[in-house]
Amino acid sequence: MNSIMLGPAKRIMMCKPTHYQVKYQINPWMNVKRRADNERAQKQWLELKATIEKCGATVEVMEPEGAENLPDIVFCANAAIIRGKRAYVSHFAHRQREGEHVFYEKWLKSKGYQTFYNDNIRHEGTGDALWCSQGMNTLISGVGTRSDMRAAADIRTKMNQEGKDDFQVVCARLVDPRFYHIDVCFCPLNENLALFYPNAFDPVSQNNMKNYTTMLEVPEKDALKFACNAVVIGKNVILHEGAKETEKMLEMNGFIPHAVDMSEFLKAGGSSKCCTLRLE
């Protein structure tokens, strides 16, 4: 199988939380009565950025200029799926986030990406699709809440560079509304290993996913602290504080956990990984 080898993340996109706020409710974590403290969120975001840089990756920042009415644009994991120099830009499920794709697409184009957008099929980027398995040649896509199963074939056609980059797209069905994106319940750590909260998936998907990678099962209490929503940079794993069992499990497997406070972002249903997009 020919492949584009995906090494440790070296370049990561982040979007400034300038307009971040909880202004609507599109997942069970959001409650307009529990507003986010934007000033605190900015500090947490800067701390996350500094931690990512300390772990050896470069952060490329998107300024959300003109995106005043898009408070969730900080969650740029939902911008697109990236493969080489191609970007499959998201078509959001909820109208509240629909406008974001224009900003992401413009930014990705300015960085030299060839972009694709499907007007008929909804898919929420790497929030709902993660590379894993040997050669990072399998894209596991969460379906059932936000992203459409029909995207699998479309992604494969558009992202397969001149037919040379052979990869497969596998769908996994999300069944627990609290885990509405795959990146809040599944986190590939390298080609062979991943964090996973099984009950977020239906039983068929739980079993099927194990065909592609070995799973380290995260307990529910850690999953609810967004332990699976971690930024992985080589052996470094950056996650929201308090997921003690997961941190131990990571250490036992040779990884270095870095706990950061993402509490203001948890109010919108996101944590560290949601605020990042791997650019290679």
Name the site residues for ligand ARG (rule: CB under 6 A): 26-27, 30, 72, 75, 77-78, 97, 127, 181, 183-184, 268-270, 274
Q: What is the DSSP string of 53-88?
A: HHTTPEEEEEP-TT-TT-TTTT-GGGSEEEETTEEE
Q: Which residues of 199-236 are buried (b: 16+ CB within 10 A; e: fewer)?
A: ebbeeebbebbeebbebbebeeebbbbbbbbbbbbeeb
- State how far the alpha carbon of 56 is from the alpha carbons of 39, 112, 188, 262, in Å: 26, 23, 18, 20
Q: Of 2, 3, 8, which is closest to residue 190 (Cα–Cα)?
A: 8
Q: Decide whether 198 or 270 has the Cβ nearer to ligand ARG.
A: 270
Question: Which residue is at the shortest CB distance from ligand ARG?
Answer: 127
Q: How far apart are CA 186 and CA 198, in angstroms?
A: 9
132, 228, 274, 275: which one is catalytic?
A: 274
Tally of residues, the chain: 280
Q: How far apart are CA 137 and CA 160, in angstroms?
A: 11
Smallest distance from ligand ARG to CB 48, Å: 14
Q: Decide whether 228 or 250 has the Cβ nearer to ligand ARG.
A: 228
Q: Tokens 């249903």 label which residue?
A: 269
Smallest distance from ligand ARG to CB 180, Å: 7
Q: Tell how strand 193-196 and strand 186-188 pair up.
A: antiparallel
101, 181, 240, 258: which one is catalytic?
A: 181
Q: Tell me whether residue 274 is one of the annotated catalytic residues.
A: yes
Q: Decide whether 4 or 274 has the Cβ nearer to ligand ARG.
A: 274
**What is the arrangement of strands in the sheet containing 138-143, beginning at the earlier edge strand?**
129-132, 138-143, 168-173
Please, are residues 93 and 149 in contact by the beta-carbon 8 Å criterion? no
Q: Decide whether 32 or 134 has the Cβ nearer to ligand ARG.
A: 32
Smallest distance from ligand ARG to CB 198, Å: 18
Q: Decide whether 2 or 61 has the Cβ nearer to ligand ARG.
A: 61
Smallest distance from ligand ARG to CB 1, Å: 28
Smallest distance from ligand ARG to CB 252, Å: 26
Token pair in block for residue 180:
């509405």
Q: Tell me whether residue 240 is one of the annotated catalytic residues.
A: no
State the catalytic residues: 181, 274
